[in-house]
Chains A and B, each alone.
Chain A
């Protein structure tokens, strides 16, 4: 069974204090690893997709990296507006594989890391 574990569950930082969020996964046939941001009362907002070990992507103060077993979301010099829950998700298989007897395309999410940035 595909598993996604995020740590820590919650993290409180001072403004400007850099840190990293972890997402470890156990899946067969990873096709992509996704990071989403979710604000209270809203749906998840897409941040990044990573497809292969060694890949990195950046957006403003966020940088996502991927290894064969885990992904990190690095937050550099965060601001209060970065406060949110960050969700990691994996996608396995695909339509081609499914038609050949493999999995579907929906995401398996972790529980998220609740990040608070204090001014």
Chain B
């Protein structure tokens, strides 16, 4: 079974630039999450989708971050404009339903300089 796919693996941008990350969840998984993991910390939830609807975006910095999940499958996370403190690994995860374990992709490492 194919896992959660993310791209790109690495991205370096200058502050105030924009960047987008892409995620393809495991086939058939209705729930999709984006997490931010800063070096030395555990992942922090940014947004949760159930099919193509947003369930929880309470920790998403909405002035600069946006996310969408069109057609309830792939998802993109965008940062515009980026700040130095956005340097982190962005992890996408999916689960079959809202009450089953989540499976993570390998993440995108973002460096903002």
Contact = CB atoms under 8 A, between A and B. Distances in A.
Interface of A: 4, 31-32, 34, 36, 41-46, 49, 87, 89, 94-95, 98, 104-112
Interface size class of B (residues with CB under 8 A): 20 to 34
B56 interface: yes
A32 B56 CA distance: 18
A104 to B, nearest CB: 3
A108 B45 contact: yes
Contacts of A42: 106-107
Contact of A109 (B40, B43, B101, B103): B43
B101 A49 contact: yes
Contact of B104 (A4, A44, A95): A44
A105 B55 contact: yes
Contacts, number: 62
Nearest to B57: A104
B48 interface: yes
Contacts of B45: 106-108
A46 B107 contact: no
A10 to B, nearest CB: 11
Interface of B: 4, 31, 33, 35, 40-45, 48, 50, 55-56, 58, 91, 93, 98-99, 101-107
Nearest to A48: B101
Contacts of B93: 43
Contact of B40 (A31, A104, A106, A111): A111
B106 A95 contact: no
B99 to A, nearest CB: 6
Given A31-B99, A95-B55, A104-B55, A43 B42 contact: no
A41 B109 CA distance: 9
